[in-house]
Structure 1
């Protein structure tokens, strides 16, 4: 049996975040991205979402490079090959180096289409079993510590299970101490987005006094070796994010003891198939994993929810509710968090309906490819 695809669409959207989002590498509020749509002869529609930003801050990929790779290479591969299972897509795309976010955007639509053709939830198609998932919140760098504390207080009252605080040199230990003094028992993690070097070891060792869940990606975005040196010097668990692009990267990081936790982002690793492989390996090795966010709209958020139903996702992820980021999302119903928990939808595919009016409203371009 094959997964028949009649047509594939690239919807380029531009949506405005409720608030500017600031990390160690920049600030932005308008987000451009693609919603990918795979359609079969029976009218089933599978959806994926690209997560690259407009500028190459997080990785070398951008919205524009995603379009180039999807349009000029990946879609042609899909048109020329038979797909029997979504796992086949990852293998077909292996001839193209990196460009994982472009690959993931298309693979995600095919996973959703496959689940809808099978009339099962995407979570079930992936092998997930959880009926609800715990989620945390990610907070960007704020103008003042008071602003940060007020924001944390708001989300703590909403019941989020942990708080991730973006840090950078000059906005780190003093800020974290202040937060810890106000919230002695709150699960807190610090996300550095590669803002430090090994010259900062003594400074980073001061973080050990704060009983953090983890410090995420303190060193270079492509490093595994230096993180091993740093982890050996810290009590605080290191979590790797930007360094992990594949199962092979995960194996190297575990072998070198570069981290104690891995953040799995679907787009960063090239799609759900590779994300599953990394999850399975980490489960075998006893490495905790959690699902990171990339400021996704509803489709990407739904994919994150489905992935997080796998058993080794034992730490709360970044999949906050739609209203945290968007005044209006592109799915119905929107993702809702209650007391830090999202109930996993049980409808076929991603479990949420696309709001076609919203999709049209935010679209700045649509490209259609026939099969």
Structure 2
């Protein structure tokens, strides 16, 4: 029976791209067994005002921060509820200050919850299974660490512990907009030569039909999907992409508060044979999307659901509805990506998954998480997440930490 003796929390600023931040949680039980989890800085979807700005930059041929796979998108966000009691100043206040705004505020709130409420309440508590712990307002990190610890204690891989059946996954590589069509095709070529059989292109108004046409002309047999990141408000613009045999159109339409526009998703799915993949962040939202026929595939981002229990429920709902599933995740370190690999091993995850390896500068686990010849091996020979954490590397990257 697990009982947490010690909780350690690290805040990291990762040395790549736009220097994303993440929080790592390490749990240690009374027998010295450890479990690790991660929550990453929320991303910034391209919706509303950012849509027009990005389209203008694309037309001008300069898209700052884009052009490499590593900078393709800020992924893996988590919505953290308000703490049960007011947050005091301290590490959370330091974490939440400055120009990072709302995204930094979310990590700051998570930090405070872990330090002031959830962390102390978790210490010394006996539990048989992670699902017994109820709501975990600290988000993905604590839940994942509990699952990792629980699976390690039982000597089983996390993938098997949550119901996964696959031994390997087909990976997709996610490519951001480039400065020219030639550069886009050249980047696709490098990944095809590296063994990838599936590529996902970022699209937005001003950068959609032309790059898809160029890539399709260069690679007629390549499996190709597009990710709009909620940038569109018109069905016809995306309908034109289906003519180029795209397997899926991911996140086509945003809505109020960042929620997807179900009516537009449903209308697009009626017009195209490509899968329309919707991203939602809760089981009730998925039920609503299925009822509205707002697509035929789920883009499942484990960290946005907060709990692996909710992830499994969403998986089962999508399968029951006849939907395909693609798992996605992975800004941050290899810990969050390892969790995505475990989720992608679930039997309903039939589409290629976005679990690309983080830059070497942010790699803190061995073996590294990533694809070889376009395929990701599910770690089944070691218990838990199946990766060892380089704690010295974590401490070097950490800008703040505390221990309870």
TM class by shorter-chain length?
0.7 to 0.9
Q: After the TM superposition, which residues 187-206 of structure 1 pair with which residues of structure 2 at under 5 Å, given as runs?
A: 187-197=223-233, 200-206=234-240
Q: CA deviation at 1:56?
A: 8.4
378, 382, 385: which one pairs with 1:344? Answer: 378
Q: d(CA) in 2 for partners of 1:341 and 1:173?
A: 28
- Which residue of structure 2 aligns with residue 294 of structure 1? 330
Q: CA deviation at 1:224?
A: 4.5
Residues 68-105 of structure 1, C-alpha deviation per residue, up to 9 Å, x if partnerless?
Answer: 3433443355348643211123x333xx5xxxxx4111
CA contact (8 A) 2:231 2:252 kept: yes
74, 78, 83: which one pairs with 2:122? Answer: 78
1:34 to 2:23 alignment: yes
Which 10-residue stretch deviates more, 204-213 or 106-115? Answer: 204-213
Helix, strand or coil for the counterpart of 2:135? Answer: helix
- Cα root mean square deviation, aligned: 2.1
1:238 to 2:237 alignment: no
Deviation >4 Å, runs of 4+: 54-61, 79-82
CA contact (8 A) 2:248 2:277 kept: yes
How does the TM-score come out when normalised to structure 2? Answer: 0.80
Helix, strand or coil for the counterpart of 2:14? Answer: strand
CA contact (8 A) 1:208 1:236 kept: yes
Helix, strand or coil for the counterpart of 1:6? Answer: strand
CA contact (8 A) 2:330 2:337 kept: no
CA contact (8 A) 1:8 1:38 kept: yes
- Which residue of structure 2 aligns with residue 207 of structure 1? 241
CA contact (8 A) 2:4 2:125 kept: no
Question: Structure 2: which 5+ residue stretches go unaligned?
Answer: 47-73, 78-101
How does the TM-score come out when normalised to structure 1? Answer: 0.86
- Which residue of structure 1 aligns with residue 10 of structure 2? 11
Residues 262-300 of structure 1, C-alpha deviation per residue, up to 9 Å, x if partnerless?
Answer: 011111111211111111222222211011123231111
- Which residue of structure 2 aligns with residue 99 of structure 1? none
From the superposition, tell whether residues 328 and 67 of structure 1 become closer, same or farther in structure 2 (CA, over 3 Å): closer
Residues 311-355 of structure 1, C-alpha deviation per residue, up to 9 Å, x if partnerless?
Answer: 111111001234xx3345101121242221122222011111111
1:362 to 2:397 alignment: yes
145, 150, 157: which one pairs with 1:109? Answer: 145
Q: d(CA) in 2 for partners of 1:196 and 1:56?
A: 12
Give the total of aligned pairs: 344
Residues 12-59 of structure 1, C-alpha deviation per residue, up to 9 Å, x if partnerless?
Answer: 111122xx4xxxxxxx2x111111111101111101111223878876
Helix, strand or coil for the counterpart of 2:40? Answer: coil
- Which residue of structure 1 aligns with residue 180 of structure 2? 144
From the superposition, tell whether residues 256 and 349 of structure 1 become closer, same or farther in structure 2 (CA, over 3 Å): same
CA contact (8 A) 1:131 1:343 kept: yes
315, 323, 335: which one pairs with 2:369? Answer: 335
Q: CA deviation at 1:153?
A: 0.8
Q: d(CA) in 2 for partners of 1:285 and 1:368?
A: 44
1:222 to 2:259 alignment: yes
Which 10-residue stretch deviates more, 148-157 or 106-115? Answer: 148-157
Helix, strand or coil for the counterpart of 2:401? Answer: strand
From the superposition, tell whether residues 73 and 185 of structure 1 become closer, same or farther in structure 2 (CA, over 3 Å): farther
CA contact (8 A) 1:32 1:54 kept: no
Q: d(CA) in 2 for partners of 1:234 and 1:348?
A: 43
From the superposition, tell whether residues 143 and 63 of structure 1 become closer, same or farther in structure 2 (CA, over 3 Å): farther
- Which residue of structure 1 aligns with residue 107 of structure 2? 63
281, 288, 301: which one pairs with 2:317? Answer: 281
Residues 106-134 of structure 1, C-alpha deviation per residue, up to 9 Å, x if partnerless?
Answer: 10010000011111111111121222221
1:173 to 2:162 alignment: no
From the superposition, tell whether residues 228 and 105 of structure 1 become closer, same or farther in structure 2 (CA, over 3 Å): same
CA contact (8 A) 2:367 2:388 kept: yes
From the superposition, tell whether residues 195 and 359 of structure 1 become closer, same or farther in structure 2 (CA, over 3 Å): same
Helix, strand or coil for the counterpart of 2:383? Answer: coil
- Which residue of structure 1 aligns with residue 69 of structure 2? none
Question: Structure 1: which 5+ residue stretches go unaligned?
Answer: 21-27, 97-101
Q: d(CA) in 2 for partners of 1:77 and 1:140?
A: 42
Helix, strand or coil for the counterpart of 2:15? Answer: strand
Helix, strand or coil for the counterpart of 2:4? Answer: coil
